[in-house]
Chain A
Amino acid sequence: MTTAKHPVFPLTRRQVLKGGSAMGLGAMALGLTPAWANPWGQSAVYPQGTEHGPDVSLAIRRETSPVAGKAARPISINGTSPGPLIRLREGEDAVLRVTNLLEEPTSIHWHGLILPPEMDGVPGVSFAGIAPGETFTYRFPVRQSGTYWYHSHSGLQEQLGHAGPLIIDAAEREPFRYDREHVLLLTDWSFEDPATIFHNLKTGEGYYNFQERTVADFFADVERNGFADTAAQRAMWAQMRMSSRDIADVTGSTYTYLMNGQSPQQNWTALFKPGETQRLRIINGSAMTYFDVRIPGLTMTVVAADGQPVQPVPVEEFRIGIAETYDVLVTPEADTAYTLFAESMDRSGFARGTLAPRLGMAAAIPVRRRIADRGMEAMGTHGGMDMSGMVDKQSMDHARMRGSDLAGGQNMDHSEMTGMNHAGMQGMEHGNMAGKDKMPPREADGMLPVGVAQPGSRLDQPGIGIDPRERRVLVYRDLKAIRPWPDRRPPGRELELHLTGNMERYMWSFDGKKFSEVTGPIHFEKDERLRLILVNDTMMEHPIHLHGMWMELENGAGELIPRKHTLNVKPGERISALVTADAEGSWAFHCHLLYHMDAGMFRVVKVA
């Protein structure tokens, strides 16, 4: 660690010159868009301005710079927001000097990188943060390759554009071939202050949800489902202090969704030559937004997830959780434009760009789908079809649930229901839910065999609002490693954590306790192999991120389970991952929905 005495301008002359030329290019159309958003991407023929490792200097500033053509005050990194692409090489020792020119402390976390804890960049967990005017030098050996990103881990700074792509070129041949690559960084920008957004979430449930069900919807439902069912469902959602349209808590009503820093109108364009294979490195660097990504007219072959190679999967659409990355290959043959379309999960907006053989082209923008309703499966379907589990818990007769005597929900046991903030679902016995006959065989110690998906997982489903019959959609079960990961030990123990929350009070937590309420860290024993079981007791998706160690997602792929740094857990779902606790020290473990993390869905994992 080194600290500069004076708040110096940290750019070298070389960088200034480089920045200048990038700016020259950008001045035509790109404004302050980062240089790596160069339409020609990266290939041997068209090198571009990038911060190449191993020595990189980054200056963090708050500055006036337009976003989507409107006046804004984002946080910039070396003059752009989002920040520059940092390109490292597997096997080198990276030295990243970060100078804080803000008036408050800042930090950079290298998302998905395996590195010493003091270089992980989480203030209060692994280092002190970077005070205003100071320079912190991150030094770590680069021991992996692939598509990652970096972002602030201080307060809500990430929402202001304090993020950028991080790519590590592999030391050995990667298990796929391509001619040109493009980075697609997806973010959600708001002209509101992040603190205001957080305040609004705290004080007004559904503040940004303008798609609440209306009286018209009610009558449409009555026509479809009958009055009794409709009323019963409504009453149920009301009792849970949720709306069935709580798909996202911050929506397109405040967000402008950006692709590489550009709004859909600005239409960031990636160029290709027909017949070339393009590698698209897609990063969800947003604060709060799940995206569904597709390129109408092209099949995307997924070749990496969270930077790690996977057996290739051809799909037409995939959902990308916050902080996840996917690498896909596309080979457009025609001399025509294709729309890069990333629709927000709640359908309140989209990010959009174009893949084209020439600048200035555009293709049709797909019609946005309607917002989905959270069906009752969100309430803990565990297995994906019905509510039998919940009914068991509440001693309700399943048949009666759908019966006409339930008008208004009056026959339901309200004492049970009312107590049901999301934490209330914790007590459910998940083991009973999938039905005994479907239970996978267990080992002698009562644990499931390695790689087997948990009963209660829905890893073969893409999630709410996507119809897999419409087009081929990636699901977690599709992800398979190319070879087994090094640690083949079965887990020595299981650690179960519940994702909990109360939407009305905007409280989010693990096991019902906010970070401010817990007394100590979660302990992993050094070098132990453990199974982390995540049970989502809430009715929203949560992208769960473990720092410092991989999570090998037990998705049924046996010894070829994929490893990830961020796991999306669907509402009511129970999933597991194997972890090798080889990284001594304290690490952050949290929901990557920025405001959920800030609200308390955060823990420290201590490996000792």
Chain B
Amino acid sequence: MRKTLLVAVFGLASTTALAGAGHGSGNSQADTEPSIDRTFAFEAGDMWFTPGKLEITPGETVKFEITNAGNLEHEFVIGDSEAQAQHREMMREMASGGGHDMGGGHHGGGQDDAANMPSVTIPPGETATLVWTAPHDVKEVEFACNIPGHYEAGMNGDIRIEG
């Protein structure tokens, strides 16, 4: 769990650098506590997310609480569809290149943009949080699990950024 949270912080830090939105992490370090506008409870199963899509307003800071209700590890990644596709391809390469364990250990390997997307990895039965601020310059992003095959089987959805 600790590891998961660290990933969340890292992912977030990268995003803030990119988007310049300037918010801290979702866990309770007092000094960086952001003001959360809304909290969304997500469920990740084998192979689905609930809810399946989302609408938020630009600049809104939201907290995702994602519970893994499935039997397999999942991730929750936010990014545009190209970055997601790139990340997916990278993970597939890694899975086919090395071990047969597809889950885990996939972050931090590449120097592509995809690695900079805010993301958490959630072991079965656990809950992870991710805090994210919707950018002003993008109309739509995806949330996805990019463990090989999971996206294609249905673990993806759109976030519309409007308002």
| Interface set of A (CB-CB < 8 Å, partner B) | 173, 175-178, 277, 299, 301-303, 311-314, 329, 331, 472, 477, 482-483, 556-557
Q: Are A303 and B153 in contact (CB under 8 A)?
A: yes
* Cα A557 to Cα B99 with chains together (Å): 12
Distance in angstroms from B130 CB to nearest chain A CB is 23
Contacts A175-B46, A177-B48, A177-B154; A301 near B71 (Cβ below 8 A): no
B71 in contact with A312 (CB, 8 Å):
no
B35 close to chain A: CB less than 8 A? no
With the chains together, A303 CA to B149 CA distance in Å? 8
Q: Is B100 an interface residue (CB 8 A)?
A: yes
Q: Which of B48, B70, B152 contacts A301 (CB 8 A)?
A: B152
> Is B21 interfacial (CB 8 A cutoff)?
no
Return chain B residues, CB-CB under 8 Å to A312: 47, 148-150, 152-153
Is B19 in the interface zone, CB < 8 Å from A?
A: no
Contact B100 A314 (CB under 8 A): no
Report yes or no: B149 in contact with A314, Cβ–Cβ below 8 A: yes
Q: Which chain B residues lie closer than 8 Å to A301 at the CB level?
A: 149, 152-153
Which residues of A lie under 8 Å from residue B71 when comparing CB positions?
482-483
Alpha-carbon separation in the docked complex, A173 to B71 (Å):
14
In the complex, besides A175-B47, A178-B154, 12 extra interface pairs with C-beta distance below 8 angstroms are A175-B45, A177-B48, A299-B152, A301-B153, A311-B102, A312-B47, A312-B148, A312-B150, A313-B149, A314-B149, A314-B152, A331-B152
Asked if B1 lies at the interface with its beta carbon under 8 angstroms from chain A, I say no
Q: Give A338 Cβ to nearest chain B Cβ, in Å.
A: 16
Contact of B148 among A277, A314, A557 (CB under 8 A): A314
Contact A173 B48 (CB under 8 A): yes
Is B106 among interface residues, defined by CB-CB distance under 8 A? no
Q: Which of B122-159 contact A (CB under 8 A)?
A: 148-150, 152-154
Q: A313-B148, A482-B72, A483-B71 are in contact. Are A177 and B100 (CB under 8 A)?
A: no
Question: Could you say which of A173, A175, A329, A472 has the most chain B C-beta atoms within 10 Å of its C-beta?
Answer: A175
B92 at the interface (CB under 8 A from A): yes
Chain A interface mostly: loop
In the bound complex, do residue A329 and residue B152 qualify as a contact, i.e. CB atoms below 8 Å apart? yes
Q: How far is the CB of A543 from chain B (nearest CB, A)?
A: 24
Decide if the interface of chain B is mainly helix, strand, loop or mixed.
loop
Known: A301-B152, A303-B153. A314 touches B92 (CB 8 A): yes
Give Cα A313 to B46, complex, Å. Answer: 13
Q: Determine the chain B residues whose CB is within 8 A of the CB of A299 once the complex forms.
A: 152
Name 24 A/B residue pairs within 8 A (Cβ), A-sorted: A175-B45, A175-B46, A175-B153, A176-B47, A176-B153, A176-B154, A177-B47, A177-B154, A277-B154, A299-B152, A301-B149, A301-B153, A311-B149, A312-B150, A314-B148, A314-B149, A314-B152, A329-B152, A329-B153, A331-B152, A472-B96, A482-B70, A483-B46, A557-B100
A201 to chain B, nearest CB (A): 39
- Minimum distance in angstroms from B97 CB to a CB of chain A: 11
Residues of chain B from 21 to 45 with CB closer than 8 A to chain A in the complex: 45
A491 shortest CB reach to chain B, Å: 22
Nearest CB of chain A from residue B47's CB, rounded to whole Å: 5
A482 and B153 alpha carbons, distance in the complex (Å): 13
Residues on the A chain within 8 Å of B47, using CB: 175-177, 312
B88: nearest chain-A partner, CB-CB? A314
Mark B90-102 against chain A: 1 for CB-CB distance below 8 A, else 0.
Answer: 0010001000101
List of B residues within 8 angstroms of A313 by Cβ: 148-149
Residues on B with beta carbons closer than 8 Å to the beta carbon of A477: 100
**Which residues of the partner chain B approach A482 to less than 8 Å between Cβ atoms?**
46, 70-72
Enumerate the 6 nearest inter-chain pairs by beta-carbon distance, A residue then B residue, closest first: A312-B149, A177-B154, A301-B152, A176-B153, A312-B153, A483-B71
Cα distance A339–B92 when bound, in Å? Answer: 24
Please, which residue of chain B has its CB at the minimum distance from the CB of A299?
Answer: B152
Bound state CA distance, A313 and B95, in angstroms?
Answer: 10
- Distance from A378 Cβ to chain B, minimum over Cβ atoms (Å): 25
Residues of A within 8 A of B148 (CB): 312-314
Distance A303 CA – B151 CA, assembled complex (angstroms): 12
Q: How far is it, in angstroms, between the C-alpha of A303 and the C-alpha of B45 when the chains are bound?
A: 15
Report the bound CA distance from A482 to B102 in whole Å.
13
A311 to B102, CA, bound (A): 10
Contact of B72 with A311 in the complex, beta carbons under 8 Å: yes
Nearest chain B residue, comparing its CB with the CB of A178: B154
CA distance A175 to B92 in the complex (A): 20
Among residues 94 to 120 in chain B, which have CB atoms less than 8 Å away from a CB atom of chain A?
96, 100, 102
CB proximity of A303 to chain B, nearest CB, Å: 6
Kindly state the separation between the CA atoms of A314 and B89 in the bound complex, as whole angstroms. 10
Chain B contacts for A178, CB-based, 8 A:
154
Task: Give Cα A159–Cα B137 distance, bound, in whole angstroms.
Answer: 62
Q: Which of the listed residues B70, B96, B100, B153 has the most CB atoms from chain A within 10 Å of its own CB? A: B153
Q: Name the B residues within 8 Å of A314 (CB-CB).
A: 92, 148-149, 152
Residue of B nearest to A477 (CB): B100
- A177 touching B153 by the CB < 8 A rule? yes
The complex places the Cα of A483 from the Cα of B45 at a distance, in Å, of 12
B152 cross-chain contacts in A, Cβ below 8 A: 299, 301, 312, 314, 329, 331
Question: A5 to chain B: closest CB distance in Å?
Answer: 51
> In the docked arrangement, what's the CA distance between A303 and B150, Å?
10
**Chain A residues, CB < 8 A from B45:** 175
A177 to B47, CA, bound (A): 8
**What's the Cα separation between A178 and B100 when bound, in Å?**
26
A477 to B46, CA, bound (A): 20
Interchain nearest-CB distance for B155 vs A (Å): 9
Q: Which residue of B lies closest to A557 (CB)?
A: B100
- Bound complex: CA A42 to CA B15 (Å): 42
Minimum CB distance partner of B152 in chain A: A301
Cα of A302 to Cα of B102 in the assembled complex, Å: 15
Closest residue of chain B to A468 (Cβ to Cβ) is: B96
Residues of B within 8 A of A311 (CB): 72, 102, 149
How distant is the Cα of A556 from the Cα of B152 in the complex, in angstroms?
A: 24
Query: Complex Cα distance A224/B92, Å?
Result: 36
A483 CB contacts on chain B under 8 angstroms: 46, 71
> What is the CB-to-nearest-CB distance from A106 to chain B, in angstroms, rounded to a whole number?
39
Chain A residue contacts of B102, Cβ below 8 A: 311
Q: How far is A311 from B70 in the complex, measured between Cα atoms in Å? A: 12
